[in-house]
């Protein structure tokens, strides 16, 4: 299977101050890699670096077998879509118009959508069950609705790689299940490589092909859900005393 995105001896951080070091992984088309670990471990920093928002301190990121630093921004935008925790604040845009911005890498200078572009936007909106509020002002929707619209925008981009940072933090249980079901289908049917962070370990165990554990500035372990989600691993990763783990998870 073709490797879509990989990291080799990658170190990430801010202003040359290292946050996480020695990161290595490969994600193939159709696979989901989930980053887990304590708050402040550096998961978001890793995702922002993979997305191009931050420059790596050292190491290499390969996107479709090319060094990410050598890919033109216009091509990068077609290959990789991002849903980060920071909220965008579009001025007087409807939800549909926000989704339409996902087609801008394809529309040229004036951003005029073709009928084909409009069909892709409409399908993306239906995929996330957002048709009922697609004409509403984006700024007037709930946090959960915003998150679904941002996912629709990413889907409309038709990427090879989808990166998401804690994407279900604002969703109720129905829409969390729907959201993860969409991600699994995007991976399996459209062969998108998905990399995300989350705290919902029960969902991570069910939807992930591989799990990367980050703690204390390093990758603690990486493996399949069966390998990662053992009591000893989770207690160590989150510093949970054995008696409390057994009380709540045993």
CATH code, domain carrying 218 = 3.40.50.300
Residue 87 has pLDDT above 70, yes or no: no
The answer to whether residue 168 is domain-embedded is yes
Confidence tier at 86 by pLDDT (50, 70, 90): low
pLDDT in tens, 97-134: 999 999 999 987 677 899 999 999 999 999 999 999 99
The answer to whether residue 195 is domain-embedded is yes
CA-to-CA distance for 113 and 229, rounded, in angstroms?
45
Residues with Cβ < 8 Å from 33, sequence gap 6 or more?
Answer: 25, 27, 193, 194, 195, 196, 208, 209, 210, 211, 212
Instruction: Average the pLDDT over 209-214 and give the result.
Output: 98
The answer to whether residue 151 is domain-embedded is no
pLDDT mean across residues, the chain: 93
Instruction: Average the pLDDT over 227-241 and give the result.
Output: 96
* Structural domain boundaries enclosing 164: 3-87+159-249
The DSSP secondary-structure symbol of 200 reads: -
Which of 22-26, 90-94, 199-203 bottoms out in mean pLDDT, i.e. has the lowest?
A: 90-94
The answer to whether residue 166 is domain-embedded is yes
H-run or E-run covering 194: strand 193-197
Gyration radius of the chain's alpha carbons: 18
Alpha carbon of residue 88 to chain centroid = 16
The answer to whether residue 147 is domain-embedded is no
Of 146, 103, 104, the residue nearest 128 (C-alpha):
146
The answer to whether residue 137 is domain-embedded is no
The answer to whether residue 149 is domain-embedded is no
| Overall domain count for the chain | 1
Which of 72-86, 115-129, 153-167, 219-233 bottoms out in mean pLDDT, i.e. has the lowest?
A: 72-86
The answer to whether residue 110 is domain-embedded is no
CA-to-CA distance for 27 and 3, rounded, in angstroms?
6
Instruction: Average the pLDDT over 60-65 and give the result.
Output: 94
Compute CA distances 238 → 44, 173, 213, whole Å.
17, 23, 10
pLDDT in tens, 144-157: 899 999 999 999 99
CA-to-CA distance for 128 and 177, rounded, in angstroms?
11
């Amino acid at each position: 299977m073709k490797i879509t995105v990989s990291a080799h001896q990658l170190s990430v951080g801010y202003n040359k101050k290292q946050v996480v070091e020695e990161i290595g992984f490969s994600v193939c088309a159709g696979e989901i890699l989930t980053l887990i670990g304590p708050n402040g471990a550096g998961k978001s920093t890793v995702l922002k670096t993979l997305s191009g928002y931050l420059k790596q301190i050292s190491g290499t990121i390969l996107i479709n077998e090319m060094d990410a630093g050598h890919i033109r921004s216009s091509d990068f935008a077609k290959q990789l879509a991002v849903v980060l925790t920071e909220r965008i604040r579009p001025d007087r845009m409807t939800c549909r118009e926000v989704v339409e911005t996902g087609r801008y890498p394809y529309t040229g200078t004036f951003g005029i959508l073709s009928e084909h572009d409009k069909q892709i936007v409409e399908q993306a909106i239906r995929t996330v069950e957002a048709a009922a509020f697609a004409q509403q002002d984006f700024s007037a929707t709930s946090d959960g609705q915003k998150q679904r619209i941002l996912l629709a925008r990413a889907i409309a981009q038709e990427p090879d790689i989808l990166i998401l940072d804690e994407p279900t933090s604002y969703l109720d249980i129905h829409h969390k299940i729907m959201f993860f079901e969409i991600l699994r289908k995007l991976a399996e049917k459209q062969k998108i490589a998905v990399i995300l962070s989350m705290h919902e370990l029960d969902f991570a165990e069910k939807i992930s092909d591989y799990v990367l554990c980050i703690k204390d500035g390093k990758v603690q372990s990486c493996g399949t859900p069966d390998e990662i989600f053992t009591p000893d691993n989770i207690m160590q990763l989150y510093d949970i005393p054995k008696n409390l783990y057994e009380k709540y998870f045993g």
